[in-house]
Amino acid sequence: MTNPKLAQDYAKRAHGRLVAIKALYLNGLFADVVRECQEACELGLKSLIRQAGHAVPFSHDVSEKLRQIRKDLPAPVQHKIERLCEISKTLRRDRELSFYGSEDITPSEFYEEKDAKAAIELLREVLTLIPSERKIKKK
């Protein structure tokens, strides 16, 4: 890990996306809400990995890495590892579909308000464990 500022940047951007997500939600763009929640979750979890002094994997679901470095994470995060992994996998599953769709799925027709609300709740659960950029200790 050569850039310690990345952990702060990831945390700031993860928390900051809530503003964009709210705007998307208010405009009924529920597929985009799901996609943005996944990206914010990914940034937040990668912030935790960097804060622990580890390089982040080049994947959208970081569950395996979180389990590998559990002992290096703050105690409150360690106790929630399995839940964080479950959230990461759940949101990851919808990443491409919510953005691109498929031959039989149009994202704006497929994703409903309830899907957007569920994604927002999952993201909020993750963000409660991600310190804002000002609270991240510089190493």
Tell me, yes or no, whether 73 lies in a domain: yes
Q: Decide if 137 is inside a domain.
A: no
Domain of residue 26, residue span: 5-130
pLDDT band at 6 (very low <50, low <70, confident <90, very high): very high
Kindly state whether residue 136 falls inside one of the protein's structural domains.
Answer: no
Q: Pick the residue with more confidence: 124 or 139?
A: 124
Within a domain: 135: no
Q: Please state the domain count of the chain.
A: 1
Over residues 57-104, the pLDDT tens digits come to 999 999 999 999 999 999 999 999 999 999 999 999 999 999 999 999
Q: What is the 3-state secondary structure (H, E, C) of 29-52?
A: CHHHHHHHHHHHHHHHHHHHHHHC
By CB neighbour count within 10 A (0-12 exposed, 13-18 middle, 19+ buried), where does 2 fall?
exposed
**Is 90 exceeded by the pLDDT of residue 136?**
no
The pTM (predicted TM-score) of the whole model is: 0.91
Percent of the chain with pLDDT over 70: 94
Q: Is residue 139 part of a domain?
A: no
